[in-house]
């Protein structure tokens, strides 16, 4: 499934998204297009609500969602994810 999200800024963001979604039961591969703001997830369509909730809780709300429109808090969480992703690489 393809999910367009807000706040993807760097490889750290992409790494955080991959790691976070890997923890969701039923999720296979996760690909992140940083420039396009797109997350491609190999999973059953009935997992979409759970996956979008997980993304939003990590600071990456679905584009056009209520959370996406109120993304000030989400942006702060995504900056933390960037920092954590960078620390994981070191």
Per-residue pLDDT band for 64 (boundaries 50, 70, 90) equals confident
Residue 66 has pLDDT above 70, yes or no: no
Domain boundaries, the chain: 2-89
- For 16-30, the pLDDT digits (tens) are 999 999 999 999 999
- For 2-59, the pLDDT digits (tens) are 999 988 888 989 999 999 999 999 999 999 999 999 999 999 999 999 999 999 989 8
pTM, two decimal places: 0.74
Q: What is the phi/psi pair of residue 38, to 5°? A: -120, 135
Assigned CATH for 2-89: 3.30.70.100
């Amino acid at each position: 499934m393809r999910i367009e999200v807000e706040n993807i800024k760097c490889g750290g963001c992409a790494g955080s998204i991959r790691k976070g979604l890997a923890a969701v039961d039923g999720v296979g591969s996760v690909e992140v297009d940083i420039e396009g703001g797109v997350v491609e997830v190999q999973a059953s369509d009935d997992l979409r609500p759970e996956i979008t909730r997980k993304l939003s809780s990590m600071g990456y709300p679905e584009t056009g969602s209520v959370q996406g429109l109120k993304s000030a808090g989400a942006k702060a969480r995504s900056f933390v994810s960037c920092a954590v992703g960078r620390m994981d690489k070191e």
